[in-house]
Amino acid sequence: MFKVRHADWDQRVRESFAQQVMAESLGLRMADCEAGRVVLEMPFNPSFVQQHGFHHAGVTTTGMDSACGYAAMSLMDADAEVLTVEFKSSLLAPAAGELFRYEGRVIRAGRTLLFTEGRAEADGKLIATMSATMMAVRGLA
């Protein structure tokens, strides 16, 4: 569906994700990586619950933001890094479950800005959605 701009997009995405210490701290792992679509997964982690014992909205948002960000990065030039410009999370249902799945998809890819959408599921049930804008930044390193 989308044109990739770089042959090693898959490797770049995986290497960048591997450097996200927060992902490791939460227990997030990359379950799927296509051009323009990334899926992350995370088992329930009792260290990151809110006052009612469910995953904090910040966890759900982190999962969706990371999935959207790497979905965007998969379509970027070889010298570009991804930065999140903004996102909106809608929290449809409590983040209650054993296995959490976060999917990010690009819906429009410009050279500088990429529009993405995220979905979060708990044991297969939709619990949250995201609408996020990602930016390709060059010369960051």
Q: Which residues sit at the interface with a second copy, rule CB under 8 A?
A: 16-17, 19-22, 25, 46-52, 56-59, 61-62, 65-66, 81, 83-93, 107-108, 112-113, 115, 117, 126, 129, 131, 133, 135, 140
Choose between 34 and 117: whose C-beta lies nearer to a second copy.
117
Nearest distance in Å: CB 141, a second copy: 8
- 126 DSSP β-pair partners: 121
Nearest distance in Å: CB 87, a second copy: 6
With DSSP H G I counted as helix, E B as strand and the rest as coil, what are the percentages for the chain, rounded to 5? 25, 45, 30
Choose between 78 and 91: whose C-beta lies nearer to a second copy.
91
Report how far Cα 116 is from the mean position of its chain's Cα atoms.
Answer: 10
Nearest distance in Å: CB 40, a second copy: 12
What residue spans of 36-99 are helical by DSSP H? Answer: 57-73
Choose between 10 and 81: whose C-beta lies nearer to a second copy.
81
Choose between 32 and 88: whose C-beta lies nearer to a second copy.
88
Nearest distance in Å: CB 125, a second copy: 10
What is the per-residue burial (b if ≥16 Cβ within 10 Å, else e) of 35-67? bbbbbbbbebeeebeeeeebbeeebbbbbbbbb
